[in-house]
Amino acid sequence: MQIPEQYFKSGKIAKELKSWIRENITAGMGLLVIAEKVESEIMRRGGQPAFPTGIGVNDMTAHYAPQENETGKTREADVVKIDYGVHVDGYVADTSVTMTENPNYQMLLEATEKTLQAAIDVVKRDRRIGEVGRAIESTAKSYGFRPITNLSGHTLQQYVVHAGKSIPNTYSPGLPMLNKGDVFAIEPFLTLHDAAGYVVESPQENIFSLVVRKRTGDRELDDLTDRIWNARKTLPFSPRWFNQGYKEGRLMALLKELERRRLVHSYPALVEASGKPVAQFEHTMAIEDGGLSIIT
């Protein structure tokens, strides 16, 4: 199966962004500023954000995308995860980088990167998903850290970020194989050895996606659905991307109504259950005729 060329175009931009982030994002920046800078840079290079840029500070682990009223800033002591994606024609390259100026957590970051590489090395010789999870878990523990057990990598499809197969960060038997033609992201999340090692939902919901384009008979809801579909199809989005023209609070009320009608899905922010810092590194890759290609 031929891997669509757009995946590699997205991956090239995502890879370039990783260097750009390390050079341009520094402690003291506002979370909203970081997200907007990353998203603007993606578009400047010819791509589109595949999902709202996630900024996970310390125990905030996933699905936190700053909104227009965000006032938070990063600090030198923080562990800051920047989870971003690029799409070209709906073909997604998903990746992440973790940064800190805190020497107490440098080893956590190094171990997470090495854990990702260990998982990649397994895929090169063994396409059983369970063995990838085993490599992540054993490598993390060998460095004195533990993986987040209820987060996982995932396959990707056009306009779908989480598609079909999950790639857990711990060993699990009986999982399917990774096959030629699969495009997927591996993303180990590591935390401290005395942490709970799993995430729980927070009350914050600031990422949404359209589940299905369906008429409701309500003009305001249908107009919003059309706007989302035309801009995003089924890819995740941030309310701040669609807020223009709405009075304060109105857009969120409409999104919650669409969610109630099961036309929109929300993604609660996820935090480490014991409040301990988490690091994340991620690559998107594909299995081609010639073997494994790292897209990002």
Distance CA 75, CA 81 (A): 13
Whether 97 and 13 have beta carbons less than 8 Å apart is answered as no
Whether 100 and 112 have beta carbons less than 8 Å apart is answered as no
Distance CA 276, CA 280 (A): 13
The encoded tokens of residue 79 equal 């562990």
Q: What angle do CA 252, 275, 103 make, to 5 degrees?
A: 115
Catalogue the active-site residues.
83, 94, 154, 162, 187, 282
What sign for the dihedral angle of Cα 61, 64, 69, 74? positive
What order do you get walking across the sheet with 189-192 strand by strand?
Answer: 145-147, 189-192, 278-280
18: helix, strand or coil: helix
Q: Which of 202, 221, 241 is nearest to 67 (CA)?
A: 241
